Structure 1
Amino acid sequence: MTFFSRYLIKSFFRLKKKKSRFNYREEIYKTAFQHKSYCKTNNNERLEFLGDAILCFVVSEYIYDENKTQKEGYLSKKRAVIVARKHLNMVGKRVINKELLKTKTETISDNIYGNALEALIGAIYIERGIKEVKQFIIDKIINSEFVDELINTDYKSNLQKIIQKNQNDIKYNLTNTKGPEHDKEFYVTLFIDNKQISRAKGRSLKEAEQNAAKKALKSVS
């Protein structure tokens, strides 16, 4: 059994079965960790597309079932935190061994880990089915140690509450992007009632907006 096979069994599935009973296709998991810079045709983008859709479904269903008295606004915000790029990147770095990633980029950006995590979700769904992938998402993503931390740092929501009290208008403008596709930086300017309040950057548009909101809170609090 290869290192790759042993790693998947130990880190992802942890099923109490004899090794001879495992019947998964190793190639699909290898593809999940192949960045487009490493292979233009057989890379993880298609699996990432599938995994993203499965992740949103499983998270939505879980939050809906676990929060029966909460309204749509709360459910949407909770889901947004869990499926946020920043969170997926954090979880990806935690559960994916760097040795498994295949890339020709000079550095392995956080986004590469997050994208590979979504591709892994797609691979698990294809190879093992919805039951196994749901358990993986619940264990590794929904119940990750990072969720509470990120909820407490939802600066956009905190700023929105203050702005709504004063009946002000808030707007985030994407002003620039820099860097290659796999390691892009986004630049955002935040306006309140058409007055520029703050500027910030981030590894994703959402992260840039959060950073801008964090700066703005210092001005309006």
Structure 2
Amino acid sequence: MELQKYISKFLTKRKKKLSEKDYILCNEIAKIIGCNIQNINLYREAFSLKSSSKNQKKSNYERLEFLGDSVLGTIISCHLFSTYPNANEGYLTQMKSKIVNRKNLNKLGSELALPDLLQNESTTPLSDNIAGNLLEALVGAIFLDFGYDACKSIVLSRLLTASEINKLENKIVSYKGLLLEWSQKKKVKIRYETSEEIHVHKNLVFRTCVWLDHDNVSNATDTSKKKAEEKAAQRAFYILNKKQCILENPKDHT
């Protein structure tokens, strides 16, 4: 009975020390990771934006993002290594790239509504990658709060589950990268020619042509050079894949 009174008194005292804002943050993080956090300061930092004021040098998510990026990479690498014992290095590298690439992390961070947990406002528009950046910062905070083993368990059971990873197995992240790998194996030269075009209403677009040796395989336009190249590569992939099977399964190769 005395112990129960002490614990109850301790928890009440702890709640009083937390502001309403901190208490909400604790509860939201607990819902995401499935357990109560220990060090609120880590999560405050993980969800704080960089201040534009020179006089304010408060901590922000960037350092934890840097740490979380490395921790997440290690967790995923170890998971893939043990899950696919017969896969070659190329397959493991591709799978890791699919999981930790910016687009996928942004998607996961958005689904977890991580930008809603930001503790301060920004005077400038938020980056398109903010959701993914915050996910990495969260992983960094979890690692410092609980240690590697617990962090790994939380990541694989709550943030990047096995079912989510399995969905990515047959997904093509970069057609440009896929074509490059294929061209190197086949010892053919693939190149991209991109030019600027002015369309109606004076909108600037980029046109990319994909050349295989001396043959123009495909072309595409988009609002950025990178998007135009990826779209042209996707079209080239489908054209070439009809003639010969480009997409192999490196998992079965040793």
Q: Structure 1 216/125 Cα, relative in aligned 2: closer, same or farther at 3 Å?
A: same
Q: Is the 8 A contact 1:172 1:188 kept in 2?
A: no
Q: Which amino acid aligns with 2:129?
A: N
TM-score w.r.t. structure 1 length?
A: 0.72
Which residue of the partner structure matches residue 44 of structure 1?
61
Q: Is the partner of 2:164 in helix, strand or coil? A: coil
Q: List alignment gaps of at least 5 residues for structure 1.
A: 16-21, 177-186
Q: Is the partner of 2:85 in helix, strand or coil? A: coil
Which residue of the partner structure matches residue 214 of structure 1?
234
Q: What is the CA–CA distance in structure 2 between the aligned matches of 1:89 and 1:175, rounded to whole Å?
A: 30
Once the two structures are overlaid, the 10-residue window that deviates more, 102-111 or 122-131, is 102-111
User: 1:161 Cα deviation (Å)?
Assistant: 6.4
Q: Does 2:188 align with 1:168?
A: yes
Q: Is the partner of 1:152 in helix, strand or coil? A: coil
Q: Which amino acid aligns with 1:112?
A: I
User: 1:117 Cα deviation (Å)?
Assistant: 0.6
Q: What is the CA–CA distance in structure 2 between the aligned matches of 1:30 and 1:194, rounded to whole Å?
A: 56
Higher-Rg member (1/2):
2
Q: Is the 8 A contact 1:88 1:141 kept in 2?
A: no
Q: Which amino acid aligns with 1:36?
A: K
Identity of aligned residues (%): 31
Which residue of the partner structure matches residue 89 of structure 2?
72
User: 1:55 Cα deviation (Å)?
Assistant: 0.9
Q: Is the 8 A contact 1:28 1:123 kept in 2?
A: yes
Q: Give the aligned CA root-mean-square deviation in angstroms.
A: 3.6
Which residue of the partner structure matches residue 28 of structure 2?
7
Q: What is the CA–CA distance in structure 1 between the aligned matches of 2:100 and 2:156, rounded to whole Å?
A: 12
Q: Is the partner of 1:8 in helix, strand or coil? A: helix
Which residue of the partner structure matches residue 143 of structure 1?
162
Deviations 1:38-62 (A, max 9, x none): 6764111111111111111111111
TM-score w.r.t. structure 2 length?
A: 0.64
User: 1:149 Cα deviation (Å)?
Assistant: 4.7
Q: Does 2:41 align with 1:27?
A: yes
Q: Is the 8 A contact 2:26 2:37 kept in 1?
A: no
Q: Does 2:70 align with 1:56?
A: no
Which residue of the partner structure matches residue 142 of structure 2?
124
Once the two structures are overlaid, the 10-residue window that deviates more, 104-113 or 80-89, is 104-113
Q: What is the CA–CA distance in structure 1 between the aligned matches of 2:194 and 2:123, rounded to whole Å?
A: 26
Count of residues paired in the alignment: 202
Q: What is the CA–CA distance in structure 2 between the aligned matches of 1:144 and 1:79, rounded to whole Å?
A: 15
Q: Structure 1 165/72 Cα, relative in aligned 2: closer, same or farther at 3 Å?
A: closer
Which residue of the partner structure matches residue 98 of structure 1?
115
User: 1:70 Cα deviation (Å)?
Assistant: 1.1
